[in-house]
């Protein structure tokens, strides 16, 4: 009897445990599965929204193509067929889903004979026709006709010319809609002659009004309408193109169906894509489980495009319950198993303790004590075993990859991976165990990622990092990686345990969002957010390449006025137009962003800090200034521009933007329609440049140029042996202008040719005079610029000058730069040989600053090298410059060339040059460049160098 009661008691307590266990499991299961459902549904919503948005935006764009044509037609007035063809051809090429553009014209019956006669001039057998029973025949008499007047491309559409559309029901309906709304309107998808059988097309049309202006109300519109422009779109291809160009076709799990019409049903279906649409097969045993969960199945969004309702249905295939609910199902299973085991264990325990109790009553107190101890021991051991088993199960069934690594340096070989590791990475345990975890790294994996893991392992501490690894199939595997040391009883680290959470899909979604978030929806330019990114990149590049960068702030003048008077829509169109023009006005590598409103920012990298060239800014202003026609108005917009320069005006993006903004405001204050630099000095420089350019043109005629001469001293004798002629500009207002300020400009404008010719002749005349005055065989050097060098008749014109002035050719030295000769070596050698044959001397100026190859140097028929001033300047303070100078001298000796050092200012420099065997020097130490009279005095005094 007692045994029966004991058994009942044990069973009861076991059942209770089971009940509690199951309740807890259910609770956790429900909570987790809800979380999973939310996650799956959120993911689906996002993907659905992205697709719907893409389709809608793409369709709106397609309709806009028609507006462009319509606008053209209205603006030109009545274009010829050729004009229409020229205008539409590039559009047809660019938008392949547009099968044709057509112009329909209203022809009153009275005008029919004249119209037909006129058109027969172009198309001999032209007449107004209709389609009857699939055959084209002469149109019966009607009060008016709506005739296909132009159609492009003509080939394939020839028969449509002359067709009267006024009887076409769908077309008339769309026309009414367009007249009522004042906007483009489309038909429902219909079968069209232009399309292959089975294909369906849309006609999107927009009326053209007399005078090109759209009246405000429907009656007036009807009265002044003279016809319409129409685009024939292949619907299915159109939608496919839109999705494809957004890269959304690659994912064919998601189903997309697009309908046009009042209702979304089989008859209005124009496009479908994706596996989700194939009949969803689900294994039977899964179906039962599926009932437990709620799955996202589809969304439907509707919107209006050109007066027709479009529906986009996004669906997702019924997925295996396991893929979404892996975690919660595991919890459910594990919970039930644990509860059952627990209950059974408890029952056994209870029965045993009853038995023990009975024994206790029979045995002595001592024995009772021993027994109790024994029983405790067993329980403890069993519990420990079960604990281990449970942990093992947990690891095995974890949804995340768990890896156990040996703490053995340097490889930390993998000892264990759980099944999830295989699912996530594609590698089986056999492939992973024994290897270094870094095998997951791809070639271009972020190498720093694992490096930090390595450091943490070496320091035996925990670490968490996001890594980009690669799946066995080569695809990217983004993961959140945790690692922690495992210690043995003595506290020594024997292993590491790592968990790897797959976050690839999250990353992919982030990237998708980022793309969507990087563009300004109105203009398609990059937006404020993306600008910061581009700017940081550009600043980084500029810093590395030691180049300047301009940040240009463009603000339209009086934009608010347009917006207020012509309305927001006009304002939007204006902004789009300006955005397109700004983009076209700059180089590919420049960035153009819209900050918001009518503010734009442009990043112009690779600016030359030394010569301020503002032509790029002028191009931007010109682009905005071209007339814009908008809703029948012709607008003349201007803009104000502010420029901040990196690094002068700021070294970080924020400062540059702020300073460009300030500069722009200064532009507004100084009467709009101009540009301003943030740094006042740059403003002056920009102004000066514009002014110099204007004045340079007349400087020769006004005799404002003169030459200064700098003595060249022979180091062996200490005597003046030659001179370098250097040009000066005596500007009536600016005073003496240095060549550094205008030679570049003269080269750009081509003025260098007459100026250079003047220099050459003047220098030769002067030198010959000195020779005749008895100053020995003094020579003169003349600098030659690229433009002159590439001049066709260079050799003959120099020969003429020598003949005219009587200067012996050997007394003239031409100074050329390395870059001038290195651009086209073969060509240069030809010219140099021609010059050499004349008997003049040739030298390479600024040697060491450009790029010359020794091999070429040997082939150039030159006489001397001039070591650039910058090396000479630092000879005594910079070991590198000293070494370069010494090696140039020895190189020159080797090639049997004379060496001239320019810019010698100190005795130390002179000593060094003399020591290394330099032949001649030129520099302030002996004399700066001086006017001819002063130079003559030096000669007269027979000044020498100590």
A 10 A CB-CB count for 176 gives 14
- The tokens describing 598, both together, are 């009518």
Q: Which stretch binds ligand C2E (CB under 6 A): 117-125, 478-486, 618-626, 737-745?
A: 737-745
Asked whether position 924 contacts ligand C2E by CB under 6 A, the answer is: yes
Site for ligand C2E in 819-858 (CB under 6 A): 845-846
Of 759, 778, 814, 840, the one binding ligand C2E (CB under 6 A) is 759
Partners of 148 in beta bridges: 104
In angstroms, the CA 596 to CA 839 distance is 66
Q: Do 773 and 720 touch, CB atoms closer than 8 A? A: no
Q: Single out the residue of 99, 126, 101, 271 nearest to residue 192, CA to CA.
A: 99
Indicate the residue among 346 and 720 with the shorter CB distance to Ca ion. Answer: 720
CB of 852 to Ca ion, least distance (A): 14
- The tokens describing 493, both together, are 């680290």
Of 710, 771, 779, 885, the one binding ligand C2E (CB under 6 A) is 710
Q: Single out the residue of 117, 294, 92 nearest to residue 194, CA to CA.
A: 92
Q: Phi then psi for 123, rounded to 5 degrees?
A: -125, 105
Asked whether position 852 contacts Ca ion by CB under 5 A, the answer is: no
Q: Which stretch binds Ca ion (CB under 5 A): 60-68, 600-608, 839-847, 920-928?
A: 839-847
Asked whether position 695 contacts Ca ion by CB under 5 A, the answer is: no
In angstroms, the CA 830 to CA 837 distance is 11
Q: Phi then psi for 817, rounded to 5 degrees?
A: -95, 160
Of 695, 845, 919, 920, the one binding Ca ion (CB under 5 A) is 845
CB of 726 to ligand C2E, least distance (A): 4
CB of 841 to Ca ion, least distance (A): 13
Asked whether position 738 contacts ligand C2E by CB under 6 A, the answer is: yes
Asked whether position 740 contacts ligand C2E by CB under 6 A, the answer is: yes
Of 228, 590, 598, 902, the one binding ligand C2E (CB under 6 A) is 902
Q: Which stretch binds Ca ion (CB under 5 A): 191-199, 570-578, 846-854, 883-891?
A: 846-854
CB of 782 to Ca ion, least distance (A): 9
Site for ligand C2E in 862-901 (CB under 6 A): 869
Indicate the residue among 557 and 815 with the shorter CB distance to Ca ion. Answer: 815
Asked whether position 322 contacts ligand C2E by CB under 6 A, the answer is: no
Q: Single out the residue of 180, 188, 238 nearest to residue 206, CA to CA.
A: 180
Asked whether position 923 contacts ligand C2E by CB under 6 A, the answer is: yes
Q: Single out the residue of 277, 295, 278 nearest to residue 286, CA to CA.
A: 295
Asked whether position 739 contacts ligand C2E by CB under 6 A, the answer is: yes
Number of residues that bind ligand C2E (CB under 6 A): 23
A 10 A CB-CB count for 500 gives 24
The count of residues in the chain is: 946
In angstroms, the CA 67 to CA 73 distance is 10
CB of 815 to Ca ion, least distance (A): 4
Q: Which option in ligand C2E, Ca ion, none does residue 710 bind, with CB closer than 5 to 8 A by kind?
A: ligand C2E
Through-space distance between the first and last CA atoms of the chain, rounded to whole angstroms: 135
Q: Which stretch binds ligand C2E (CB under 6 A): 89-97, 491-499, 922-930, 931-939?
A: 922-930
CB of 723 to Ca ion, least distance (A): 11
CB of 750 to ligand C2E, least distance (A): 13
SS3 801: helix
In angstroms, the CA 671 to CA 640 distance is 9
Q: Which stretch binds Ca ion (CB under 5 A): 354-362, 562-570, 754-762, 782-790?
A: 782-790
Q: Which option in Ca ion, ligand C2E, none does residue 759 bind, with CB closer than 5 to 8 A by kind?
A: ligand C2E
Partners of 231 in beta bridges: 101, 204
Indicate the residue among 167 and 739 with the shorter CB distance to ligand C2E. Answer: 739
CB of 922 to Ca ion, least distance (A): 9
- The tokens describing 636, both together, are 């003349």
Q: Which option in ligand C2E, Ca ion, none does residue 561 bind, with CB closer than 5 to 8 A by kind?
A: none
CB of 703 to ligand C2E, least distance (A): 16
Asked whether position 927 contacts ligand C2E by CB under 6 A, the answer is: no
Q: Which stretch binds Ca ion (CB under 5 A): 17-25, 410-418, 845-853, 915-923?
A: 845-853
SS3 152: strand
Asked whether position 682 contacts ligand C2E by CB under 6 A, the answer is: no
Q: Which stretch binds ligand C2E (CB under 6 A): 4-12, 112-120, 315-323, 734-742?
A: 734-742
Asked whether position 201 contacts ligand C2E by CB under 6 A, the answer is: no
Helices marked H in 481-555: 504-518, 528-545
Of 783, 788, 909, 927, the one binding Ca ion (CB under 5 A) is 783
Asked whether position 815 contacts Ca ion by CB under 5 A, the answer is: yes
Indicate the residue among 185 and 795 with the shorter CB distance to ligand C2E. Answer: 795
Indicate the residue among 73 and 709 with the shorter CB distance to Ca ion. Answer: 709
Asked whether position 187 contacts Ca ion by CB under 5 A, the answer is: no
Q: Which stretch binds Ca ion (CB under 5 A): 498-506, 671-679, 775-783, 873-881?
A: 775-783
Indicate the residue among 406 and 876 with the shorter CB distance to ligand C2E. Answer: 876
Q: Which stretch binds ligand C2E (CB under 6 A): 26-34, 277-285, 340-348, 916-924?
A: 916-924
CB of 901 to ligand C2E, least distance (A): 10
Indicate the residue among 425 and 843 with the shorter CB distance to ligand C2E. Answer: 843
SS3 597: coil
Partners of 136 in beta bridges: 131
CB of 769 to ligand C2E, least distance (A): 18
Beta strands 720-731 and 779-783, pairing class: parallel
CB of 728 to ligand C2E, least distance (A): 7
Indicate the residue among 270 and 727 with the shorter CB distance to Ca ion. Answer: 727
Q: Single out the residue of 530, 532, 534, 528 nearest to residue 514, CA to CA.
A: 530
Of 535, 726, 807, 820, the one binding ligand C2E (CB under 6 A) is 726
Site for ligand C2E in 780-809 (CB under 6 A): 783, 785
- The tokens describing 584, both together, are 């076209």
Contacts by 114-121, CB closer than 8 A, 24 or more apart? 115/147, 119/149, 119/162
Asked whether position 813 contacts Ca ion by CB under 5 A, the answer is: no
- The tokens describing 804, both together, are 């005219």
Asked whether position 846 contacts Ca ion by CB under 5 A, the answer is: yes
- From start to end of 407-505, where are the E strands? 414-417, 463-470, 476-487, 493-502
- Describe the crossing of helices 879-894 and 907-916 by its angle, rounded to 10 degrees: 40
| C-alpha distances out from residue 225 to 105, 160, 219, 350, 671, Å | 9, 22, 10, 97, 43
Q: Is the four-CA dihedral 620, 622, 623, 627 of positive or negative sign?
A: positive
Indicate the residue among 586 and 798 with the shorter CB distance to ligand C2E. Answer: 798
Partners of 269 in beta bridges: 259
CB of 737 to ligand C2E, least distance (A): 10
Give me the residue label for tokens 């209770």. 16
In angstroms, the CA 508 to CA 838 distance is 70
Indicate the residue among 52 and 710 with the shorter CB distance to ligand C2E. Answer: 710
In angstroms, the CA 727 to CA 755 distance is 9
In angstroms, the CA 257 to CA 254 distance is 10
Q: Do 712 and 920 touch, CB atoms closer than 8 A? A: yes
Q: Do 296 and 45 touch, CB atoms closer than 8 A? A: yes
- The tokens describing 725, both together, are 């002629």
Interaction site with ligand C2E (CB under 6 A): 710, 726-727, 738-740, 743, 756, 759, 783, 785, 815, 845-846, 869, 902-905, 922-924, 929
Interaction site with Ca ion (CB under 5 A): 783, 815, 845-846
């Amino acid at each position: 009897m007692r045994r029966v009661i004991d058994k009942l008691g044990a069973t009861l307590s076991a059942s209770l445990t089971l009940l509690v266990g199951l309740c807890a499991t259910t609770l956790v299961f429900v909570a987790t599965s809800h979380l999973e459902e939310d996650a799956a549904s959120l993911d689906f919503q996002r993907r659905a929204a992205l697709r719907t948005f893409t389709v809608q935006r793409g369709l709106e764009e397609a309709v806009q193509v028609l507006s462009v044509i319509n606008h053209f037609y209205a603006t030109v007035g009545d274009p010829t067929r050729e004009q229409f063809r020229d205008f539409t051809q590039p559009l047809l090429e660019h938008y392949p889903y547009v099968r044709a553009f057509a112009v329909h014209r209203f022809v009153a019956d009275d005008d029919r004979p004249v119209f037909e006669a006129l058109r027969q001039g172009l198309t001999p057998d032209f007449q107004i026709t209709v389609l009857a029973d699939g055959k084209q025949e002469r149109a019966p008499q009607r009060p008016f006709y709506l005739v296909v007047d132009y159609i492009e491309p003509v080939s394939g559409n020839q028969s449509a010319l002359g067709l009267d559309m006024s009887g076409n029901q769908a077309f008339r309906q769309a026309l009414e809609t367009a007249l009522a709304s004042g906007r483009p309107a489309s038909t429902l998808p219909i079968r069209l002659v232009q399309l292959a059988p089975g294909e369906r097309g849309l006609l999107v049309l927009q009326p053209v009004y007399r005078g090109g202006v759209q009246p405000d109300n429907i009656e007036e519109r009807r009265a002044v309408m003279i016809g319409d422009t129409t685009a024939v779109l292949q619907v299915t291809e159109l939608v496919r193109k839109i999705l494809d160009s957004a890269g959304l076709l690659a994912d064919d799990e998601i189903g997309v169906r697009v309908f046009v019409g009042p209702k979304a049903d089989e008859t209005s279906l124009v496009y479908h894509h994706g596996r989700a649409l194939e009949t969803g097969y689900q294994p039977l045993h899964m179906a039962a489980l599926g009932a437990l969960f709620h799955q996202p199945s589809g969304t439907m969004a509707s919107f209006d495009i050109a007066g027709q309702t479009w529906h986009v249905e996004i669906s997702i295939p019924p997925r295996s319950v396991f893929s979404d609910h892996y975690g919660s199902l595991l919890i459910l299973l594990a919970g039930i198993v644990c509860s059952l085991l627990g209950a059974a264990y408890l029952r056994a325990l209870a029965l045993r303790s009853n038995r023990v109790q009975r024994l206790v009553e029979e045995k002595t107190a001592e024995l009772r004590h021993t027994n109790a101890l024994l029983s405790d021991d067993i329980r403890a051991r069993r519990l420990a075993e079960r604990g281990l088993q449970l942990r093992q199960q947990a690891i095995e069934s974890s949804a995340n990859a768990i890896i156990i690594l040996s703490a053995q340096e340097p490889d930390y070989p993998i000892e264990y991976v759980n099944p999830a590791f295989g699912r996530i990475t594609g590698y089986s345990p056999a492939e992973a165990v024994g290897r270094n975890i870094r095998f997951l790294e791809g070639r271009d994996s972020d190498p720093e990622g694992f490096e930090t893991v390595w450091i943490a392992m070496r320091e035996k501490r925990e670490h968490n990092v996001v890594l980009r690894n690669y799946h066995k199939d080569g695809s990217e595997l983004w993961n959140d990686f945790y690692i922690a040391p495992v210690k043995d009883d003595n506290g020594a680290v024997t292993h590491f345990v790592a968990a790897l959470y797959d976050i690839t899909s999250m990353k992919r979604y982030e990237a998708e969002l980022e793309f969507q978030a990087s563009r300004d929806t109105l203009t398609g330019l990059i937006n404020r957010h993306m600008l910061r990114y581009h700017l940081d990149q550009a600043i980084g590049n500029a810093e590395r390449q030691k180049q300047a960068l301009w940040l240009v702030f463009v603000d339209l003048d009086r934009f608010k006025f347009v917006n207020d008077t012509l309305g927001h829509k006009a304002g939007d169109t204006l902004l789009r137009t300006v955005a397109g023009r700004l983009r076209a006005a700059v180089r590919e590598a420049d960035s153009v962003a819209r900050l918001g409103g009518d503010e734009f920012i442009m990043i112009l990298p690779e600016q030359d800090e030394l010569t301020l060239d503002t032509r790029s800014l002028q191009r931007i202003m010109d682009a905005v200034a071209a007339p814009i026609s908008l809703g029948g108005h012709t607008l003349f917009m201007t803009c104000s521009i502010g420029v901040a320069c990196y690094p002068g005006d700021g070294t970080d993006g924020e400062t540059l933007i702020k300073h460009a903004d300030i500069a722009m405001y200064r532009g507004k204050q100084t009467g709009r329609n101009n540009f301003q630099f943030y740094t006042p000095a740059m403003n002056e420089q920009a102004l000066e440049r514009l002014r110099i350019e204007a004045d340079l043109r007349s400087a020769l005629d006004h005799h404002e140029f003169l030459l200064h001469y700098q003595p060249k001293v022979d180091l062996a004798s200490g005597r003046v042996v030659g001179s370098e002629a250097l040009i000066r500009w005596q500007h009536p207002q600016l005073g003496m202008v240095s060549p550094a300020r205008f030679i570049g400009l003269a080269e750009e404008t081509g003025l260098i040719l007459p100026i250079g010719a003047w220099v050459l002749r003047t220098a030769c005349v002067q030198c010959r005079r000195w020779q005749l005055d008895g100053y020995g065989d003094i020579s003169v050097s003349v600098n030659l610029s690229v433009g002159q060098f590439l001049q066709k008749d260079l050799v003959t014109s120099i020969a003429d000058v020598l003949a005219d002035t009587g200067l012996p050719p050997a007394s003239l030295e031409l100074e050329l730069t390395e870059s001038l000769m290195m651009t086209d070596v073969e060509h240069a050698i030809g010219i140099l040989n021609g010059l050499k044959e004349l008997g003049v001397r040739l030298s390479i100026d600024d040697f060491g600053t450009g790029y010359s190859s020794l091999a070429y140097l040997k082939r150039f028929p030159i006489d001397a090298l001039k070591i650039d001033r910058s090396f000479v300047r630092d000879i005594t303070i910079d070991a590198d410059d000293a070494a370069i100078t010494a090696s140039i001298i020895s190189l020159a000796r080797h090639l049997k060339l004379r060496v001239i050092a320019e810019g010698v200012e100190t005795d130390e420099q002179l000593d060094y040059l003399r020591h290394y065997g330099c032949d001649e020097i030129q520099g302030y130490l002996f004399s700066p460049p001086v006017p001819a009279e002063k130079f003559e005095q030096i000669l007269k005094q027979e000044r020498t160098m100590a």
